[in-house]
Chains A and B, each alone.
Chain A
Amino acid sequence: MNPLLALSDPLFDHGVTGVIILIVLIKIVVGFGALMNAVILMIWFERKAISDMQSRIGPQRWGPFGLLQTMADGLKLMGKEDLIPAEADRFVFKLAPFLVVIPAFITFAIVPIGGTMHIAGHVVQLQMANPPMGILLMLAMSGISVYGVMLAGWSSGSKYPLLSSVRASAQMISYEAALGMTIVIVILVTGSLTTHDIVLSQGGNILHWNLIRLGLVPFAIFLIAITAELNRPPFDVVEAESELVGGFHTEYSSFRFAIFFLAEFMNTITMSAVMVTLFFGGPAGWVPPVAHLKWIFPILWFLIKTTIFCFCYIWFRAALPRFRYDQLMDLGWKRLIPLSLGWMLIVAGFLISWRWGLLMGSVVIFAWLVLTRAFELGKTRESGPERVLPTIGQRPIPGSVIRKMSEGDS
């Protein structure tokens, strides 16, 4: 038996048997089904909520309240012709949608959606997996989903998708730094990487939630960074309709487009769930003292909290105008990264003693003043060397240029 498995999940404490494999399979199937259904509901919810905010009616034809609209759209998309542009890189073009949708699903696997249950004498955690690397898996997967967007744009062999993919790669990398830094702050107080421990450490009352315990700022940074990471409004320069047609998925049609669409909403739900896990205690909340209801209330709390965040994303989309590209970069590099670094120092200081905390606080304030001054100087002066250094050696000349040069202008 691999001791790594036993470390974090009590299910594997006594070796692996057929029953345990069955439990794991059931967890995966139930998790996948739940996420797919949640996506369908989320698309309906977004369309309904947005139309309410814009004084429209929204989908209403298919099913009660238009609930089946998404199914109808999905069927319609599947019936459409699957086009691959002539200029496209066929293999990468087909690969890209899966690079977006698979990370979205894997990230959901580490989210604890409830406490623990006892099934057939085994302790079962209500999350698909609880690897020791825990929340780092989410960072790794968000790193992979960048490729989906990037390669989709590049492989389309068309200029707007390419522009979009260049934007996407720069944006996602920029905000990943701030994102990682806030996760470090959470890990500092938890002392463990696993999502299960992160949730456990926030149990008890509302004051133990990381939202309060870490002082709001990490949560604010995380919310902004994750919205940018998702390419959702107001950070959707990647698929800005008024500039880039549809962005990276302009050339996609039929079911491949449906996969991108699915992945975007799946990511929204997953990231809402991750946010609840990191800052809002996950399934923590009031549980009635009735033995048979103990397992269902944490799940309810989790669902309620996640739904609130899903609504927040819709709200952002309806209320906020899109960032300009340079504003987006400024916010990421000049505001969020220094702020998250400074806040991490302060939290680390207070974890040792209040003296260190105050010292770190004053250091951060001093650094902030210096930084503000530097930004002011940078606005009025662009300084650097007189000229760029000459390149070393000879540049390779493409064959076509050499041919033209040797043919001459005769």
Chain B
Amino acid sequence: MIATSYAVPSIIVFVGAAIIIIVGALGVITFKNPVHCALSLIMTLFGVAIAFIAQQADFLAAVQIIVYAGAIVVLFLFVIMFLGVDRTDHVHVEPLVAQRPLAALGVVITLGGLVALMAQSHWVTGVMSASTDGKPLESGTANVHQLGTSVFTTYLFAFEATAALLVIAVVGAVLLARRERTLQADEVEV
């Protein structure tokens, strides 16, 4: 039934990408060593990028690799190496009270949301996007052009708000990390 609506190569690509994603995701939660977990995360991100390319969202795929694999996971690894937490700790004390029940609640909400979404849209592609009234993006021409137009017109407010949020986070992080200390006159670097 699936084969009637999808060509064989796309199914192979989809299954391959799905296997990469799932194996990577399982690795993230099962490996003992945090560095191995981060590596599995990169594997998952690559799988998602392959899935994006199969859906002709090549710009998203590139950004996925550049931003997530190229910057964010590098920062994770940086912190892991810098703080030397690449040894396994046996956590006897709950760092946050009621962390586990809250996490379970979060999982339930996410799963519920996914099921609710899938009930109303196509089961594989999830096509029901607001910007194109359920139609997929025009195939081929100017992926970036379409994305840019919608980000800077329809979704301008959300885009700018996200940018402002990120700036606030950065400024806040700098403020929290710095300590009050007035340099002496002879300490000033030229």
Kindly identify which residue among A143, A150, A193 contacts B77, using a CB–CB cutoff of 8 Å: A150
Interface mask (B85-99 → A, CB under 8 Å = 1, otherwise 0): 010011111111100
Within 8 A of A (CB), among B41-93: 42, 53, 56, 58-59, 61-63, 65-66, 69-71, 74-75, 77-78, 81-82, 86, 89-93
Contact segment of A51-59, A271-279, A364-372, A387-395: A387-395
Interface mask (B113-130 → A, CB under 8 Å = 1, otherwise 0): 000000000000000000
CB distance from A69 to the nearest CB of B (A): 36
Kindly identify which residue among A92, A140, A172, A397 contacts B66, using a CB–CB cutoff of 8 Å: A140
Nearest to A154 among chain B residues (CB) is B81
**Cβ-defined contact, A393 with B97, below 8 A:** yes
CB distance from B46 to the nearest CB of A (A): 9
Q: Is A309 an interface residue (CB 8 A)?
A: no
Q: Is A137 an interface residue (CB 8 A)?
A: yes
Once the chains are docked, how many angstroms separate the CA of A52 from the CA of B181?
51
Q: Is B180 an interface residue (CB 8 A)?
A: yes
Once the chains are docked, how many angstroms separate the CA of A2 from the CA of B77?
36
Nearest to B67 among chain A residues (CB) is A143
**Cβ-defined contact, A143 with B74, below 8 A:** yes
CB distance from B105 to the nearest CB of A (A): 18
**Cβ-defined contact, B62 with A380, below 8 A:** no
Once the chains are docked, how many angstroms separate the CA of A399 from the CA of B88?
10
Once the chains are docked, how many angstroms separate the CA of A193 from the CA of B91?
48
Q: Is A24 an interface residue (CB 8 A)?
A: no
What is the interface residue range for chain B against chain A?
35 or more
**Interface centre among B35, B36, B189, by most A CB within 10 Å?**
B35
**Cβ-defined contact, B70 with A385, below 8 A:** no
CB distance from B141 to the nearest CB of A (A): 7
Q: Is A144 an interface residue (CB 8 A)?
A: yes
Chain A residues within an 8 Å CB radius of B33: 89
Q: Is B100 an interface residue (CB 8 A)?
A: no
Once the chains are docked, how many angstroms separate the CA of A350 from the CA of B160?
23
Within 8 A of B (CB), among A262-297: none
**Cβ-defined contact, A382 with B179, below 8 A:** yes
Q: Would A397 and B93 be within 8 Å (CB), given that A147-B42, A385-B176, A388-B176 are in contact?
A: yes
Chain A residues within an 8 Å CB radius of B143: 132
Q: Would A385 and B175 be within 8 Å (CB), given that A133-B62, A143-B66, A380-B188 are in contact?
A: yes
Q: Is B163 an interface residue (CB 8 A)?
A: no
Q: Would A143 and B140 be within 8 Å (CB), given that A89-B35, A396-B93 are in contact?
A: no
Q: Is A4 an interface residue (CB 8 A)?
A: yes
Once the chains are docked, how many angstroms separate the CA of A393 from the CA of B188?
38
Chain B residues within an 8 Å CB radius of A393: 95-97
Interface mask (A1-43 → B, CB under 8 Å = 1, otherwise 0): 0111011000000000000000000000000000000000000
Nearest to B57 among chain A residues (CB) is A4
Q: Is B139 an interface residue (CB 8 A)?
A: yes
What does DSSP make chain A's interface, helix, strand, loop or mixed?
helix
**Cβ-defined contact, A193 with B70, below 8 A:** no
Q: Is B183 an interface residue (CB 8 A)?
A: yes
Within 8 A of B (CB), among A164-215: 165-166, 169-170, 172-173, 176, 180, 193
**Cβ-defined contact, A92 with B35, below 8 A:** yes
Once the chains are docked, how many angstroms separate the CA of A92 from the CA of B33?
12
**Cβ-defined contact, A133 with B70, below 8 A:** no
**Interface centre among B56, B66, B178, by most A CB within 10 Å?**
B66
Q: Is B177 an interface residue (CB 8 A)?
A: yes
Q: Would A382 and B69 be within 8 Å (CB), given that A137-B62, A399-B90 are in contact?
A: no
Nearest to A180 among chain B residues (CB) is B66
Q: Is B20 an interface residue (CB 8 A)?
A: no
**Cβ-defined contact, A399 with B74, below 8 A:** no
Chain B residues within an 8 Å CB radius of A355: none
Which 4 residue pairs across A and B have the least CB separation, nearest first? Answer: A143-B70, A384-B178, A136-B62, A140-B65
Residues in chain B within 8 A of chain A (CB atoms): 33, 35-36, 39, 42, 53, 56, 58-59, 61-63, 65-66, 69-71, 74-75, 77-78, 81-82, 86, 89-97, 139-141, 143-144, 175-183, 188-189
Beyond the given A92-B35, A147-B77, could you list 9 further A-B residue pairs with CB under 8 A, ordered by the A residue number? A3-B139, A133-B58, A136-B66, A154-B35, A169-B74, A169-B78, A385-B180, A386-B180, A397-B92
Residues in chain A within 8 A of chain B (CB atoms): 2-4, 6-7, 89, 92, 131-133, 136-137, 139-140, 142-144, 146-147, 150-151, 154, 162, 165-166, 169-170, 172-173, 176, 180, 193, 379-389, 392-399, 402
Can you sample 14 A-B contacts with CB below 8 Å? A132-B143, A133-B61, A139-B62, A143-B74, A146-B70, A154-B77, A379-B183, A380-B183, A381-B183, A394-B95, A395-B93, A396-B92, A396-B93, A398-B89
